Structures are given as C-alpha cells and as structure tokens.
Structure 1
C-alpha cells in the first residue's frame, strides 16, 4: 500500500477518534435513560462506530512502519478493541442473548451484517519468535552460515537424485522407442537414422589409442514375427498386380473419407452455431434484464497479500533493528560526551542544596534514602523547605508513645478514607443495580468508568502534543525521530548516574555533618540508610523430565505420535451461511428477539473469541464447546479457527491419548509446555461429551474416554493465563449424554443453528456455480434450497460432490443436469444418521444449550420472574 493512502487513512481515523471522543463526553453527562430501548440504541451506535474504527486502525497499524508512531497506533488499536468487546458485552446483557441484532443502526449507516465482522487474519495475526518459527517451518526461515551450508548440501542431494531419476526414465524411453522401430519398420528406421548426419570434426590420427573405450553393438536379430520361413518366401512367384482394381478401391476409399469428413464438419458447424446462438441469446436476455447469472461473491480483501505481508514484516524487522542500533549508538555517544558533565551538574546541585540549608538553618536536611529515589526528591521539590525544617528542629523530639499515637492517628485516617471510598462504591453499585432491575442502564457511568476510553483519550491527546511540530508526510523513509531518542536516553542516563553520584555525595554529606558536630561540640551519629531489600527468589521447583529436553524434540515427539496434527487451510468464506435478517423485526414487548439465530451469526461470536488470540491484549474465553447435529459444520469451524490464527493443532481426543493412561501427569505437562511455547495453540477434543459420559458403551470402552476428564480443569485450564494464546475447543453431537462436568469444563457453549433457507440457497448457488456453472437454470437453486432446506450443510455438500463426480461432469455437455438427480441421491440413502434432524432433536439441543449458556440462563430467569409477576397480578 502506498504511503500517501496510509497517511490519508490516518488523518481520517484521527478525525473519527476526535468526533467519537466528543460524542462520548456528551453521553457521559446524560441522565440514565428510562427506556431500555434508548440505551440499546446508544450502545449499538457506539458499537458500529468502534467496529469501523477498529477495522481502519488495524489496517493502518499493519501498514505503519515508523517505529515511534507504530507504538501509538498499537495502543489505540488495543484499547479500541477492548472497548468494542465491552460494548458487545453490554449489548448481549441487554439482549439476554449470545447474538445481537442492530439492523436499524446498520440501515442508517448503509451497512450489512458482514461489515460487522471484525477479524482480519493478516492484521490480527500473532507473530511467533524466530526460533519457534524455525522449529515449525520445514525449511528454516532464519539460519546461520553453517546451517545454510548444510541445508544447501541436502537440497543439492535431492536435486541430484531427481536428475538421476529423470535421466533413467529418459534412457528407458529411448530404448523403448528404438526397440519398437527396429521391431516394426527396421529398414525405414535405419534409412532415417542414416539421413540424420551430424557434422563432426575428426581429430583422430593413425596408430592413436582411444581415450574412451567404445563397445560396438551389432543388431543381427530379426524381430518381425511371421509364420512363413525363408524357403516359403523364395518359392512364391511374383504375381501380376492389377492397377485398375487398386484405382477403383482407392476411389471408393476416398468417397468414404469425404462422406465422413462432411458428416463431421456438418455436426461441428451445427454445434458451433448452437453454442454461438445460446451465448447471444443469454447475452440478450441479460441485457434486457430477463435473466442474470447468479454467483456468490466473496469479499477477497487480501488477494496477493501473502507476499506483501512478508515484505512488510521484513521492512518492519529492519526498521526495528535500525531503531535499536540508533538507541545503542546514542546511548554510547551520550555516555562518552555528557556523563562527566552530568555527574558534575548533579553533585553541584546537591552541594547547593547543602549550602542553602546550612546558611538558613545552620544544619543539614536528612539525606534522602535510596528506597525513596534518593536526591530525585530534591529535584521534584518533595523535601522540606528550610523554614519547615527549622520548625522541626525547634520542636522537642517525640517520645515513643507520641510517635505511636501519631502513627495510629494516620492509620485511622487512612482506614476512614478507605471505608468512605468503599461505602461510596457500594452505594453506587446498589444504585446501578436498582436501575438495572428496573430495566434502566446508566450509560454515562458505563462510559465514564471505562479504562479503554480513558486510554484512547490520553493517547490521542499526547499524540497531538508530541507530533504537532512534526510533518509526517515528509518522512517517507520511516526514519525515527532522533531528538526523542536522545531525550529518553538522557533521562535514563540521568537516573543511573544520580544513583552513582548519591553514593559519593552521601560520603561528603557525612563528612560535613561530622565537621558540624565537631564545631558545635555535640556527639556525631551517622545517619541510618534505608535501602531497598533484595527480592528473595522463589524456591525453585523440581525440574520436570521434559524441562531438560529441547523444544524441537518435544514438538517432534507429539507430532510423531499423532497428537499434533497438520490441518488443511480453511478460511471463514468456506463456512457458507447467511445471516438472520428477521430477528430485529420480531421483538416482543420487552424488546427481546423471538427468532433464533441463523447459521452465519455464529461466525461473529467465534471471531470475537479469536480476537483474544491475536497479538493484542484482549479478553477471551479459555474454552469453547460447539454443539449441533451431525454434518452441521463443527469440525470445519475448528479447522477454520486454527487456520485463521495459524495455530498449532493439538488433538486430545480419547482415541489419541488413551495410550498415555499410565502417566497422564507427565503427558499433560509435555502438552502444556509445547502449547505455551508454540502459541497460538488449539487444544481440540472431538465429541467432548465422551470425556464426561454417563455410561460407557462397549464400542468406546477400549479407549477409556473418561481418562482426561478429571485433568481438564487442574492441568489444562488452570495453567492458561489471560495473556496466553491457548484455547480449548470441543465438539459434541450428543451433549446430554455427558455429566455436569462438561458444562464446567467449557466456559462458552455455542449451538450451531439448523440450516435455514438463506444458508441452503447460498450453499447450492456457490457449490453448483463452482462445479457446473452453465448447466442449471437459476430457478433450480431456489427450488432445491426450499425442498432440501431441512438437510444440514454437510449433507448438501456431500450430495453435490457425489452426484457431480468426474464421470457426471464429463457427460454434462451431452446430458444436461437435472435437479431431480440431487433428490434421488437423498432418497436412495438408507442411513438414518444422514436424514434431516427432526424437531425433537433440535429441541433437545436447544434445551441443553439453555442450561449451559450464560445469557440463555439470564433470559430464562428474566422470563420466569416476569411470569411470576403476572401470576401474582
């Protein structure tokens, strides 16, 4: 992307942030709206604004190369995304639903639900350290000279093996050609070979020995197979050939050939004419608006972005390295040139402080202790003034009892202040709870107490101060601002030198006090120095068996055992589904949606969870459980999540780990060490209900499905910190078969909705236009979607793949595709598991989901309370 475009986008984003801050400042002052719908509208408008802002800032951050500015943009992106998630949580708690519908705001801003999709893979991707990337990569990305030589030698061995293989095949091919020519047409072949003369320049001299020994092969075998012998051929008398008969036969043969050619040409011309006529007719109908070619258009925002992203990463790495080199160079230069003068200035300043106190009080102020930052207190005027110090000298020294009383008084005042603040907080919490119970949301308090908003305001204000005299447009080479580097390093050097000077000046201070005591003829007592206590190191835990081994070895061990799996790359566009466009219009009297989510709505919830797996510090659930009927897309979604965040996929399903039953503690320690080292990481459990299954059936008794169940909370979820990019993913098609431990193990539960008409239509449209673009009328897509709406997306995908196999695709030109072929495929299937999920099964899923999902529990509680009130009335 060009520098000019990025600069314009930054100016626009800066302007948007300013407008958003003004709007939020106005909203902070408003009284809590009495109607819940007004609060919902305010939050939904802010949510849409933050979605647009986050998308724009992420794009800018990806294409910002200037190191100091990149830090500013990163802070803005991180805090904007955190505020976005807070707004989403507020909307969810108001909707009492995992899914939110804000169609009215989208319409007013001329947006679609797809525009609310936050995740953008290249912009949010978490970059692993280089050493970890080298272990994961089959070919190392970053190598030293020795590793490069070894890698080049291995590559040359592979190339030489390939060349030898190609040469062997070529020699064999030539031998086969030679043998066949000798066998079937020896005379003609030898004549052709003789005609192929090559001009050689002979340098052979008589009586000269050959430098290369040549083996001459004489072919005297006759490969022509015949029953007649040589004697029979000699005895045959020459026959008289009738030229007339041959001419007649030749003429008949020519006639047959001409007739065949004319038939072929007529059919070819007819085919070409029909094809041209069909194309013209289709073009005419499209031009007049009778018919349009339908195709699912997917937004391809990152076409050819891999190479561009790689170049950007390389440039950023180079600029970061140059920035560090500049810091080191400037630090070295400043230490060489300025450190003696800085030490002299600091010591002169401290001596002046000594002199000031001695002239005004005939005494010296207590030297600040290192634990209180030393003489930095003098610079920031946190020491006593000479007048205050004189008052303390005139006072009588306090007794132990008076000191204790003073300390107790200070403690009582601090406790009183803490209690007062605590009471105010409790009072405020009660007020907000009372408002919330009445259905009123205090919008002003929610925005005023938000730390991300405060950080955004602080960052943008500081940016406007620091960068007001800097023209970014002139810095197209992304060079760092040297003056800031010098100022920062001077401040650090000053802190370091002041600690050193303090030690020397403390000696001078004690000498002055000793001389003063001698003049005043009083006993000299050296001042006690309070230093910061050295932090006691924690007791080292006993090193695990895996700690001594290198990470590459641990990774290879899990990979060889099949625990770490290689998955095919998938993206969110491959999860074809449509959004629910009816939910917002079907609200009840409490402004709650009455229609369930569509299949595409789940993509938005999953993307929010994935934001915590990015390079930014954003809250995320530790574990997610996807439930739904067979072939509903659970495994595909897990595959998409792992692909989009470029995660290491660790499969902890019972059939994979039952072999480690003897030492599960060691195995899980190994898994978690690898997961933390190679994060982002996905820990996957297929059919997770088996881990907490109520009754073990004979078909799964061999793999001991409950093996890992007791370890999930202690050994997997507990070690995962909020900053870790690790998530536990589970799938289940019969969650009710498990005990209550399944709900406790998974923090978030998501039910994949059944296939609706919109999703079914998009599936048929996309897959059919991909496999048979011109062989089915557009009305058939709608008919098939309506008739086969109850089937799951996986069933439809399998139907199209099996019906339109290679053989059927070859016959498409001669035999037109009939929609009834897809119906026949479903009707011919005898497996009950592939039938459409019935209403009772979906009710079972909905009932279990209502008991496990946080917002569904809140909705049920609210409806139960409402029903109880109506019953009383």
Structure 2
C-alpha cells in the first residue's frame, strides 16, 4: 500500500473521530438518566465507533513513514484507546456484567462483530524489541549457567566425504530396484511369448467395444474432476471453503513491503531528529538575543504604563499562570493586578450568585436523592483527544503535500515548534531577571516616598497536586547496595523469574457471540464465548499496560483472576499477555515458592524483591497458579507447599500497585469454589471466566487446525466433529488432532482420505 492510501485512511479516521468527539462531548454534559437501556445504547454507540477508529489509527501508525504524522497519530491512538477503556468500564457499571452486547449498534453502522475486536498495537512490542531480546538472552544465560535450561544439542555437520558415501549408497539401492524391475518385465514378456498362437486371436468387435467403454469411463472421470475443481475454486472465491494456510508468494511480497516500511520509519526518524538538532542550534545562535530584547522592551513598556496610570509598581504573574505572556496577551484591558472597588463589588455579586446556585443545587439534590439516575463519568482522555484532533485540523487537514511525495520531515513545522519552545525558555529567564528588577524598583520608590514599611509578602506558591490517584507511599529499600542485574539473577536462580513461550493473543482461537444480545434483551444472563473472553483479556490485562499514558488515564485494574476448567487455555492467555507486552514473567504460585525464602523475614524479602524488580522491569506480570489455594479453609494433609503463606501479604502487594506501575497480578484457578469466596473476590479486581467452547468456536477450531495441512480434503465434515466435541475443552481437541495428524495420517501419507470416524 502507498503513502496516499495511508493518508486517506488517516483522513477517514479523523472525520469519524470528529463526529464521535462531538457526540461524546454532548453526552458528558447530559443529566443523569434512570433508564439503564438508554444509557447502555449511548455508551455502546460511542464504544463501537471508537474501536473502529482505533483499528484504523493503529494501521496508520504501523505503516506510515512520515515522522511528524506518526508522532501525532501516536497521541491520537493512545488517547482513543484510553477512551475505549473508560467506556468499557462504564458499560460494565451500567450492565452489571463484565460482558457487553451491542448487536443493534453493529447493525446500525453495518459493522461485522470481528471488526469491533480491538487490535493490539504492534508498537507495544516492536519499539522495545531490542530491550526485550537482551533481557531474554540475559535470563537464558543465567538458566544455562545453573543448569536449569538444557542446551539444544546441535547435530554434527556432515562432511563432504560422508555426503558422497550417503549419495552412493542410495544411488546403488536405486539402481538395484530399477534392475530388478527390468528383469521382472523381461521374464513376464517371455512367459507371454510361450502362449499358443490360437489363444492370441482376439475378436476385433469385442476389442473395439472394450476400448470405447474404457474411453467413456475415462472421459467421464476427467470431466467430473474438472467440474469438481471448478466448483471448489468458486466456493473458495466466495469464502464458503477455508483456503489452505500456506504462505504464498503474494503474502511474502506483502510482508516484505511491511518490513521495508518499518526500516524506512527508522531512517526517517533519524533524519527528523537530526533536523531538530540543526534547527535548535540555528535558533539559539540567530534568534535568542532578538527574542530576549523584544520581551524586555514589551515588559518594561507595560511596567511604565502601569506605573503612570496607578503610581504603583506591578508584579509579574507566576510562571505557573503564564508569566509575562499573560500580560502581553491582555494588553489594552484593565489589569487584573489592580485592586479597586469594582473588583470587590464583582466579588460580592459572585458570592450572591454562588449562594443562589448553592440553594438551587441543594433543592435539586434533595429531589435527586430518591433516584439520582446514571451519570456518565467525566473522561480524563477526552480533553487530550480533542487537543490532538485540533492539532490535526490546524496543521495536516488542509496541508498541500504535492511537493513531498517521499514523505520527508517538514522543516517549517519543526521551525515553528522549536521557535515556540525557545520563546518559552527565553521568557522564563527574562521573567526571572525582571522580577529582581521590579523588586529593586519598588525599594527605590519606597525610599523616595520615605516609607519604611516592608513590601507585602508574596503569596506562597501553590503546590500542584498531581492528578494521579493512589500514589504509592515510599517504601524502605531492603537492598540499596545491590544492582538490578544481581537481583534479576537471584530471582531467576530461585525460579521466580521465568521464560515463557511466545504466543500471541490471536492464537487463542474462538468465535464471538451471535445470540447473546437477544438473550440479554430478554433479561437473561447469557454465557460468554471464547471470542468475548479474548477481548476482555485485551481490555483488562494488555492495553492498560501498553505505555505510561494509558496506565495513568484509564481506570486502575491491579489484579485479574482467570477461572476455567483444566485444558481451557488459562496459562496460554497468561503467556499471550506477556508476549503482547514484552513483559517480565514472575511466578509466585504456592508450588513454585515452596521451600524458598523461609520464615517471616524471608517472605518479606521475597515480596520486596518481586515488588522492586517488577517495577524496574515493567511492564511485568506476576502470575499465581492455583490462585484459590492461599484462601482455602482447610489445607489437605498431602499438600506440603504451605499454600496459606501469602494469604495476608498478597492483598498488600496488590494494594501497593498504583497508576504509576505497569504491573498486574494474574491468578488462574480451575476450582475457585474450594476457598473462601469473600477473600478471593476482595483480592482480585476482575474475574474472567473461560466457558466451554460453543459450536461456533469448536467448528472454527477444527477448520483452523486441520486446514493448515494442504493435503486435507476441503470437503471434510468439520461441523459433525464440532457437534461431537460438545463439552470437550480446547486442549483436549488440540491434543487429539495432533495425535491423529502426526502419527496416524502423515506416517502413512493418507491425508486426502481423512474421515471424521478416525477421530
């Protein structure tokens, strides 16, 4: 795809985003509503539209090569994702369910259910690929040193002499088989020649009849083969038959184009950074002194005018409120720094208005206390999203790019941006020096007037409150003298930090629900499908940990419990979360920490190391298998792992996580009912249930697993197999297919004769 294609895709996404922002802004100010269905419709409408925009922006950011556009698209993508996650949490509060259904919105906009599934942005991992690889190699080297990782024995390289001997051996065997066949044919010919001449006379009529019959059968067979092939190609074209999952030449070319664009992105990014440095040096040499003089003249003129009008020396506004920029932007209006009767009267009028509004609000509150209704929570991401969209409208919407077909960085945009930054830097310095000058002037004026009184004290600067909630208290560092490498080595040696198989979330196959919306409308609680679970894992466990902005803007999810039967794919989901994020994997399962860090002091040290290292290597996933065991009422006598060891400390570890930490605790359980339910659900913020696969998921699974082998007949009855496997878990089906395909079928080369009865 070309640069023009991605520009058009970005433009389409921005047009859709403009409409959604307008609707969202209106709903932010709407009064609370009592009808839950109406609120659900409003939120789900926004939710679906934002997801479609997210997927478009993700595609643009992954393939667009212009660095300044990518910088803005990254902002838009992050803030749009944050808004999607906010709306998801609101839907959960409105529907009182983790799973939400909105088929009416999909029908309204003509969107397929598959298009509403959030794509995990590739930059979560791709921009940290070297860091992830180095960390993985470091952990692998530690495991090799302690003998915990078996080295792969590489086969001996075959020498040229061995290769010649092998070829000669096979060639002699081939020649022997050919000679045997040749001698066999000669012998058969000799035996035929011994037949009497009378018996060789064949009726010509019968011979012609036999020939015609053979021709008829053969032509019918060939025609049927052609028709079968034609019908197969037609069904393949309209999507009625799944194609073979073989990497074709077209796929290779498309993949190479993507990789080339990724390389081009790095090349253009380096060029962009070089141009920034050159522009900064130029501006510092050429513009700094001129800017400084102009600002000094402007501020001094303002001080002189103010003194002539009031006879007082003014004070410059603080740097937080804008400094001298605030004065210059308000020249020609009455200064806000002068104290007059008008200001006092305006304050009184404001107070009276406030008192009236308070009375009105009190009456409204008393009316609404009986049934306040549901109010959409004010968004943290929407103001940032509006600002980023405004930047697109100001710079890129009407920009003529005919002169830049190669999408090189624009020097005029860099110049304007760096000029603003330099102006702010110079203004800050000028304001600091002029504040000293104003203080000296005031002292001189007071001396001339003969006043000995002290100048009024400056109002103390307000301490800015950070918008981050749940700020973590500073904990005592028990390992101040140790390096991070030594801590990683210790935890890896003890088996706490582990390697994990790289599995992507898309490998967790499953179909989305198509019937649950109607069941939900009839006020029933439908069972979710595997596709719904996959989206929920992305929204709770992967996307919030993607980067710092997403973590701080979105509602905090500290811990998640994944519950399901054995072989349902719980650990696969945990590995997929780690793979998509490029996260560090910590295993604190009761069976894994049994006998390690004994005693109370040892447990304190273990939790300290996990908390410290997980924050230094974030994003991190802290995993606990058999998550119900710390909360069991009675430990079985056969269990020697001391599962209740983390009963009190696990909730403390979870509560210590804040929006500043890209760390999540994930537990898995196949029997959550075996423990104290209250303690379990107090510990985990969210619970994700993996149901048994439905017919759609099972049918999709059979097709994906079987049709990746090109020799299998595409007419194989997967629907019958899906019906037979009702109640089985995904793991059981995968194991069965692997056994049949690899052992029974490939071994005897009968893939084309595969029947469902074999399974």
What TM-score results when the alignment is normalised by the length of structure 1?
0.67
Alignment partner, residue 630 of structure 2: 691
Other structure's SS at 1:698 match: coil
Larger radius of gyration: 1
For the structure 1 residues 607 and 162, does the alpha-carbon distance in structure 2 shift closer, same or farther, using more than 3 Å as the test?
closer
For the structure 1 residues 507 and 640, does the alpha-carbon distance in structure 2 shift closer, same or farther, using more than 3 Å as the test?
closer
2:533 to 602, 605, 612: 602
Contact map agreement 1:631 1:793 (CA 8 A) in 2: yes
Cα deviation code 1:421-464 (max 9, x no counterpart): 6984994697397263xxxx5xxx638x4454444344323432
Other structure's SS at 2:665 match: strand
For the structure 1 residues 423 and 333, does the alpha-carbon distance in structure 2 shift closer, same or farther, using more than 3 Å as the test?
farther
Alignment partner, residue 671 of structure 1: 610
For the structure 1 residues 813 and 508, does the alpha-carbon distance in structure 2 shift closer, same or farther, using more than 3 Å as the test?
closer
Q: Does 1:753 align with 2:691?
A: yes
Name the CA distance, whole Å, in 2 between partners of 1:170 and 1:623: 59
Alignment partner, residue 625 of structure 1: 561
Name the CA distance, whole Å, in 2 between partners of 1:678 and 1:429: 51
Contact map agreement 2:6 2:64 (CA 8 A) in 1: yes
Other structure's SS at 2:513 match: coil
Cα deviation code 1:102-122 (max 9, x no counterpart): 223323433332221103341
Alignment partner, residue 765 of structure 1: 703
Q: Does 1:554 align with 2:487?
A: yes
Other structure's SS at 2:501 match: coil
For the structure 1 residues 258 and 80, does the alpha-carbon distance in structure 2 shift closer, same or farther, using more than 3 Å as the test?
farther
Other structure's SS at 2:526 match: coil
Name the CA distance, whole Å, in 1 between partners of 2:62 and 2:294: 44
Cα deviation code 1:766-818 (max 9, x no counterpart): 33334585369533x32232233122221222222233342543225399545
For the structure 1 residues 177 and 137, does the alpha-carbon distance in structure 2 shift closer, same or farther, using more than 3 Å as the test?
closer
Name the CA distance, whole Å, in 2 between partners of 1:380 and 1:260: 115
1:605 positional shift: 1.2
Other structure's SS at 1:660 match: coil
1:640 positional shift: 2.1
Alignment partner, residue 568 of structure 1: 501
For the structure 1 residues 95 and 469, does the alpha-carbon distance in structure 2 shift closer, same or farther, using more than 3 Å as the test?
closer
Other structure's SS at 1:750 match: strand
2:662 to 725, 741, 757: 725
Name the CA distance, whole Å, in 1 between partners of 2:397 and 2:577: 42
Other structure's SS at 1:691 match: helix
Alignment partner, residue 395 of structure 1: none
1:728 positional shift: 1.3
Name the CA distance, whole Å, in 1 between partners of 2:706 and 2:690: 24
Alignment partner, residue 783 of structure 1: 720
1:657 to 593, 597, 601: 593
Name the CA distance, whole Å, in 1 between partners of 2:738 and 2:698: 15
For the structure 1 residues 792 and 418, does the alpha-carbon distance in structure 2 shift closer, same or farther, using more than 3 Å as the test?
farther
1:671 positional shift: 2.0
Contact map agreement 1:135 1:552 (CA 8 A) in 2: no
2:674 to 737, 743, 748: 737
Alignment partner, residue 471 of structure 1: 400
2:242 to 261, 271, 295: 295
Contact map agreement 1:623 1:728 (CA 8 A) in 2: yes
Structure 1 unaligned spans of 5+: 141-160, 181-249, 262-271, 393-405, 823-873
1:477 positional shift: 0.8
Alignment partner, residue 50 of structure 1: 50
Contact map agreement 2:242 2:714 (CA 8 A) in 1: no
Other structure's SS at 1:764 match: helix
Contact map agreement 1:354 1:364 (CA 8 A) in 2: no
1:15 positional shift: 1.8
Name the CA distance, whole Å, in 1 between partners of 2:352 and 2:126: 45
Name the CA distance, whole Å, in 2 between partners of 1:786 and 1:258: 57
1:706 positional shift: 1.9
1:48 positional shift: 2.0
Name the CA distance, whole Å, in 2 between partners of 1:418 and 1:811: 89
For the structure 1 residues 526 and 422, does the alpha-carbon distance in structure 2 shift closer, same or farther, using more than 3 Å as the test?
same
Alignment partner, residue 491 of structure 1: 423
For the structure 1 residues 641 and 275, does the alpha-carbon distance in structure 2 shift closer, same or farther, using more than 3 Å as the test?
farther
Contact map agreement 1:686 1:730 (CA 8 A) in 2: yes
Q: Does 1:446 align with 2:376?
A: yes
Name the CA distance, whole Å, in 2 between partners of 1:276 and 1:726: 64
Other structure's SS at 2:114 match: helix
Other structure's SS at 1:460 match: helix
Name the CA distance, whole Å, in 1 between partners of 2:184 and 2:711: 43
1:595 positional shift: 3.2
1:735 positional shift: 0.9
1:732 positional shift: 0.9
1:721 positional shift: 2.0
For the structure 1 residues 307 and 678, does the alpha-carbon distance in structure 2 shift closer, same or farther, using more than 3 Å as the test?
farther
Name the CA distance, whole Å, in 2 between partners of 1:524 and 1:674: 60
Name the CA distance, whole Å, in 1 between partners of 2:138 and 2:191: 59
2:478 to 540, 544, 548: 544
Cα deviation code 1:469-504 (max 9, x no counterpart): 632454421335133134313322332331343155
Contact map agreement 1:689 1:742 (CA 8 A) in 2: yes
1:641 positional shift: 2.1
Alignment partner, residue 255 of structure 1: 186
Alignment partner, residue 116 of structure 2: 116
Contact map agreement 1:375 1:502 (CA 8 A) in 2: no
Q: CA RMSD, aligned part only?
A: 5.0
Name the CA distance, whole Å, in 1 between partners of 2:339 and 2:101: 70
1:465 positional shift: 3.2
Q: How many residues align?
A: 687
Stretch deviating more after TM superposition (724-733 or 487-496): 487-496
